[in-house]
Structure 1
Amino acid sequence: MTSALEHFGEVAARAAAQVILGYSTSFGTATRLLGPRHRQHVRTIYALVRVADELVDGVAAEAGLSPSEQDAALARLREETHRAVATGYSPDVVVHAFARTARTAGIGADLIDPFFDSMRTDLARSRETGIATFDAAAHEAYVYGSAAVVGLMCLRVFVRDERLDADRLARLEHGAHQLGCAFQNVNFLRDLADDTERLRRDYLGSSTRLTRRERDAWIAQIRRQLADAESVLELLPRDARAAVRSAAWLFAALTDRIARVGPAELYRRRIRVPDPEKAVIVARAVARTARERR
């Protein structure tokens, strides 16, 4: 017989899964390719990350919360996340679902705190006059907390039942770190209009408007990050590989599309990969994984 806590956990997991369906078609598609033992865990990670991200990107402000109230709301979410991971329970279904995943996969404060630090940076930068600009050091710290640690959280889910030597684990962690950074840098390029006009943030450190040379430098960096991640994909458990490969290839295709338009166009519209092309990329990733011998 299912206990009350188990039943609540199942309901929380289903509720958390709705977040990715509502916010990201690309990641939603990729998670469906994960093996059943991983799928829900990755969705719960995404749900918590998305809830925090929406809080700092204007949802709380639109609801009428003052800057100090937004700070307090983020602090409460952070505290509740730590409490839930420690105890195994939260009345907040998204936090509860994440805590179950964290306790299963060994996700602790070493990854949770940098994430919330980056979210707090967004709130602080939102109160600067003019456009808040991130220099190279601030960019690196922000991207580590907002994206690289998310990749590392997912990796802990994927390898939780594996016996890994130190070299293989280090290579996988580097790949997860690089893939998270690539995803975030791509999003900075495709979200230039919203980031600069609505959020008043310049994550890419451009002194004025992003130049073609600066755009090309970011494209080159993203491609290096994706290549690093691609080089270790075969070290992942097979039931995680097709999903991660699909996501990486989708963002590679998005990077190619961004590279083909001028910076001015990036300030006018959000570049996307058409659904038929996405379907082809996913099919190729699944076929490639099926051909691998291990």
Structure 2
Amino acid sequence: MRPEATGIELYDRTADAASNEVIRAYSTSFGIASRLLGRRVRPHVRNIYALVRVADEIVDGPGEEAGMSTAEARAVLDALETETLAAVDRGFSANLIVHAFARTARLSGFAADLIGPFFASMRTDLTVRSHDAVSHDEYVYGSAEVVGLMCLRAFVGVDRPRAPQPSPALVEGARRLGAAFQDVNFLRDRRHDAGALGRDYLGIGGRSTTRTDVLDRIDADLAAAAAVIPQLPKDCRRAVTAAHDLFAELSARLRRNDTGGRVRVPDPVKLALAARALAGRAPGARQQAGGVGRSPIEETRA
């Protein structure tokens, strides 16, 4: 029988559980994909995404709904970044979500090199309302590509005495997968971002960028990422494949629906994609087989 945890081990487990609760509450799609990760890395990926979600909530609706001004939101975000970097350095935080993330960062071998750009992009949401091509790419790097790189560092570094550097091919694949995820979210949330938040991330229509241009970029990024997924550690491939194929499905549905409604993937299709990944199918197998995702587009919230 495993002895009951005490001290820092108990605190670590409690922090991991808190992060898992954040993920469970906010994202069914991520929850399905993360369950396909091996036990070695599953809590660490959840720890990364939980902190990302908390930071995102500071600059999006909940912070404003709580009555925070832009200056107050900036101060809260800055304090979260300061505490996160300090926790990575010292190995402890009184904030359970920060503690879990910091432990993952220490075990995976990343710190300010990836954390700084992430918070920089989050601060952008407080002041920038319309992005051009350059600011879009900078924002996507900090808000999404570095999150993919954090997960990649966990994939290759957790449980190693000295976390190795991932290969350049895997780095490129992680960045492009993160970029594809972000652009899909931008495209399907475009109406909400404009109406509720007053933001335009894509510049469609006004600066020689079309909706088709964005979808073509997404599909090219997804294809590039799919090519290197087989190089990931075995206990990560199925989860990344499931996530890849979910966003490929969203991209396909977005191409078929240009009315501006929020496209979603029905739960049975999500489960079918996860089952294909669990069975070891290669990323993109759905599109090749043509057997999933033929149901009518639904425009309700996922």
2:273 to 245, 264, 281: 281
Aligned to 2:230: 234
Query: Aligned partners of 1:246 and 1:58: how far apart in 2?
Result: 29
RMSD: 1.9
Query: Aligned partners of 2:55 and 2:275: how far apart in 1?
Result: 32
Deviation at 1:278, TM superposition (A): 1.1
**Aligned AA (1:101):** T
Question: 1:50-61 residue pairs with structure 2 within 5 A?
Answer: 50-61=53-64
Query: Aligned partners of 1:164 and 1:7: how far apart in 2?
Result: 24
Question: 1:215-294 residue pairs with structure 2 within 5 A?
Answer: 215-262=211-258, 265-266=259-260, 269-289=261-281
- Cα pair distance change 1:22/1:100, threshold 3 Å: same
Query: Aligned partners of 1:219 and 1:247: how far apart in 2?
Result: 17
Aligned to 2:285: none
Aligned to 2:176: 178
Aligned to 2:19: 16
Query: Aligned partners of 2:131 and 2:233: how far apart in 1?
Result: 36
Aligned to 1:105: 108
1:152 to 149, 153, 158: 149
Deviation at 1:24, TM superposition (A): 1.1
Q: Does 1:138 align with 2:135?
A: yes
Aligned residues: 277
Runs of 4+ in 1 over 3 A off after TM superposition: 161-166
Query: Aligned partners of 1:285 and 1:248: how far apart in 2?
Result: 10
Deviation at 1:288, TM superposition (A): 2.5
Unaligned 5+ segments in structure 1 are 126-131
- TM normalised by structure 1 equals 0.90
Q: Deviations over 1:208-258 (max 9, x none)?
A: 5x99x7111111100000000000011001100000000000000000000
Deviation at 1:164, TM superposition (A): 10
- Cα pair distance change 1:47/1:164, threshold 3 Å: closer
Query: Aligned partners of 1:20 and 1:230: how far apart in 2?
Result: 25
**Aligned AA (2:192):** D
Aligned to 1:193: 191
Unaligned 5+ segments in structure 2 are 283-302
SS at match of 1:124: coil
Query: Aligned partners of 2:122 and 2:138: how far apart in 1?
Result: 11
Query: Aligned partners of 2:167 and 2:240: how far apart in 1?
Result: 16
Query: Aligned partners of 1:206 and 1:20: how far apart in 2?
Result: 31
Give identity over the alignment, percent. Answer: 52
